[in-house]
Structure 1
Amino acid sequence: MITLNDFITFEHDLEHDSEHDLAHKKEFSPPKIYNANGDLSKRWYVYFSYRDIETGKLKRQKNIYGSANSFKTKEDRLALLSRYRRRLLKLLQHGYNPNSDNTKLYNAKLLKANTAEHKEETVKKTFDPQVAYPKIKTDDVSTKTSILENNETEDHAMSLRDAFDFSLRIKEKQISSNSLKDYTYTTNAVVKWTKENHPRLKNIDQFNKKAALKFLNSVLLRSSSRNRNNYRLNLSSLLQTLEDNEIISTNPIKNIPVLRSIPKRNKSYSTEEHEKIFTYLKKEDPLLLLYIKFISYNLLRPVEVCRLKIKDINLVDKTIQFKAKNSPLKTKLIPKKILDELPELSKLDPDFHLFTPVKIGGDWDTADVNKSNYFSKRFKTVVKDHFHLDKEQTLYSFRHTFITILYQSLVKGSSPHAAKSELMNITGHSTMDALEKYLRNVDAILPNDYSNHFDND
């Protein structure tokens, strides 16, 4: 069904069409412009009412925003909205009905408009498969060319870069700084790709499903399905914000499926391996060892350890507070194994980070992801290269290893359900299903020896 926005934002001047008598129909109110008393921080729009079939009364219709609110001056906004208002009035006079399917009316006006334009056209452009062009039933190739040119020369559509920047400004208030960096990186990649591969794709309205698929396929071919899915997720979120703010009519990513990918698996350490690593680090790098023990005994993620500050450690209550993956603030018990190895913290600045590259307690002004990457590289240099560990054996693997050890110890003296219930309080998983899925993924749940079930040889 053709929407009102399809009519209003179509770049053909309907001023040349013959007019009908507005007073005769009285099916709608004259369209008006809302300018928020000149406040550019608010949204401006065109509004009108149309007679409701059931009640017989004029009913307020959906506001017309278009791309007016992307402009930064009152004059520009008013000029575009005045244009929209004129078009809306002409469309209503020509029979547009928001309660009906107006496809035939749209196609008739579109065909008439582009046939007129073609008579004056002297330069023909090449068809761009990235652009979402209107479809009409005609065999006149030159008429189709005019339609393509008409869409590509939309002078008020928001550019790809401006549209993404608008969405990023909205997202900035909703997501973490790390997520914002990921989103920004994604938009930069899309803009760069379009410039290099489809330079005529300039406006956000032209970035349709076909264009999005081509971009995502380029990511897939140079990397992996997992990376492609991450780009898809970021793009979908950004474009949904644009749809919600009526910058675009629909989010083209909605109908692009997620590809199956093989998840990255951090391989657990055997008992012999982690004991050798602990013994080795006790002499070679005690700071790195304590960092690993926070992952192992407190069952924290590496980046969660990096976020810790002195004030997050409560030695009286023996608790620790931190920002978790699925919670803005989480509290956990500090086990005695950690308390016994902590140095004196009471004289340190509460705002100091617990872990720094050179000591416990100090100022380390860099992003959390940089801190996490630093310790990952340090672990590789000091431990992985020395013991020739597998690529999948990482700092995160210590969390998997010690959750497995803990579960297998708990289940010895109780039922599996009781062991999982106690373990869930320790690991911080929000549901039993989430914990069980995690335990299956790390192969923590192993059966008893089943040799007696085989026939004797």
Structure 2
Amino acid sequence: MHFTVHFFMESILTKLRTEYKANSLNKYTKPKIYHGGKSFDLTKRWYVYYSFEHPTKVTENGHRLMIQQPPIYYNINRNYKTKTERLKAIKQLRNNIESLLKDGWTPYALESEARYTAKAALNFALKLKKSTLKKTSYDDYSNRLSHFLEYLRKKGLSSADINSVNKKTVNDFLNSLLTKSSARNRNNTRSVLSALFTILEDNELIDNNFIKNIKPLKTTSTRNKTYTGKGVDDIYKYLEKEDPIMLLFIKFVSYNFLRPIEVCRLKSKDINLKESILHIDTKTSAAKTKRIPSILLKELIDLDLSSEDDFLFTPTGVGRWEAEERNRRDHFSKRYKKIKTILGYGPDHTIYSFRHTFITKLYRDFRKTQSPFEAKSNLMLITGHSTMTALEKYLRDIDAELPSDYSDRLK
């Protein structure tokens, strides 16, 4: 017993010496997570917290004072409603904050009156934003920010105080984009910069996000036309013979109403044949469960799904594919483009058009026996739209609802 206690005390002393040494070398404590207590209470605000050495305040012994910094919430509570999703997101946020600290970032200015440079502040905002973005979205943010930082560098503002960047600076940059590309590209860049400046405002690095007051420009949206019934039959028959892999890819878009990028994310582990369901990361949700209809399920029975991390779609079928998500999607887009050119379809008909086609078909079939509200309510369960408003806008955009013949009223 005496040996055990002695060993235990020695272990504590060793640990304390190690921690003291670590804290004496670092200017911060390791970021930690508050997750609502032992019960993981989702009604409480989860956050990341840490302490940092104050640049001027000292203890009686002359050591710099460790000050606990304001908790970092970063919309984790608002954006993630389940325990699993919130834990994953807040762990990523903690890791990103720790990475920033290791890279030398400080919540205090290097000198008491100094401020953050535009480059440092915006890179800080991007790193925090990373915890809420998928890989493709993060790459898009990073690319757009790099163009903005290059613009600031040429204007001599990259190393200037972040508060030197004002509404006119951003407007001039957006106008330069408009002359070189399109209103859509200009608007998308505006949205990215606004999201980053909101983070700077939330962290009190700027007074307010003025980009919110820069209006987006009107754009003409490109329509993906629906296919006719005969058109679908002809394409299916052609692909049955010429490209069965492309056909199965399209059937996931047609029958499960997935977007092409979502089909590219599917792995063997996402398919549950026994329960006829699949799990997928969608545009609006970190993880969603969808029913696999029997018309599609029967085509999956013979697939080899034994390796969980195999992608369902590669250039040759189920298997491993060391390629970025965007490149995987582009592969199938280009693959289909060759096919539709052979069959006489133009740019308005895409893989995405199959989603429009079959949602229209399903809605019109529901409407034969159901009221508009009943039809839309049933359709929401299938398509995965999060709100009735979003579904109604989508149905209007694809002209799913058509009036009956009104000739008698014209006489």
Where on the TM-score scale, by shorter chain, does this alignment land: which range?
Answer: 0.7 to 0.9
CA drift of 1:238 comes to 1.0
**Alpha-carbon distance in structure 2 between the residues aligned to 1:392 and 1:182:** 24
What is aligned with 2:217? Answer: 259
CA drift of 1:70 comes to 12
The 1:78/1:260 distance shift into structure 2, 3 A limit, reads closer
What is aligned with 1:80? Answer: 111
3-state SS of paired residue (1:354): coil
1:199 to 125, 149, 156: 156
One-letter amino acid matched to 1:39: K
Whose radius of gyration is greater, 1 or 2?
Answer: 1
**Alpha-carbon distance in structure 2 between the residues aligned to 1:274 and 1:180:** 35
**Alpha-carbon distance in structure 2 between the residues aligned to 1:78 and 1:251:** 21
1:325 to 253, 272, 283: 283
**Alpha-carbon distance in structure 2 between the residues aligned to 1:293 and 1:78:** 56
The 1:71/1:210 distance shift into structure 2, 3 A limit, reads farther
1:285 to 243, 253, 262: 243
Whether 1:39 aligns to 2:70 is no
Structure 2: unaligned runs, 5 residues or longer: 1-22, 30-50, 58-69, 71-100
CA drift of 1:451 comes to 2.0
One-letter amino acid matched to 1:163: A
3-state SS of paired residue (2:279): strand
The 1:325/1:317 distance shift into structure 2, 3 A limit, reads same
What is aligned with 2:378? Answer: 422
CA-atom RMSD in angstroms:
2.8
The 1:287/1:242 distance shift into structure 2, 3 A limit, reads same
One-letter amino acid matched to 2:354: F
CA drift of 1:43 comes to 4.8
Structure 1: unaligned runs, 5 residues or longer: 1-35, 49-62, 64-68, 85-155
User: Counterparts in 2 of 1:142-157, with a 5 A limit?
Assistant: 156-157=114-115
1:337 to 295, 303, 312: 295
1:378 to 335, 341, 345: 335
**Alpha-carbon distance in structure 1 between the residues aligned to 2:273 and 2:410:** 54
2:180 to 210, 222, 227: 222
Whether 1:246 aligns to 2:235 is no
Aligned residues: percent identity?
A: 43
One-letter amino acid matched to 1:406: L
CA drift of 1:283 comes to 0.8
3-state SS of paired residue (1:373): helix
**Alpha-carbon distance in structure 1 between the residues aligned to 2:404 and 2:305:** 50
Question: Would you say the 8 A contact 1:40–1:73 is kept in 2?
Answer: no
User: Counterparts in 2 of 1:26-425, with a 5 A limit?
Assistant: 39-40=27-28, 42-43=51-52, 72=104, 80-81=111-112, 84=113, 156-196=114-154, 198-199=155-156, 202-203=159-160, 204-345=162-303, 348-359=306-317, 361-381=318-338, 383-425=339-381
**Alpha-carbon distance in structure 1 between the residues aligned to 2:388 and 2:212:** 31
Moved more, 163-172 or 224-233: 163-172
TM-score after normalising by structure 1: 0.66
Deviations 1:338-376 (A, max 9, x none): 1222242466212211111111x2011222222111100
One-letter amino acid matched to 1:212: V
Question: Would you say the 8 A contact 2:117–2:158 is kept in 1?
Answer: no
Question: Would you say the 8 A contact 1:310–1:354 is kept in 2?
Answer: yes
**Alpha-carbon distance in structure 1 between the residues aligned to 2:175 and 2:274:** 55
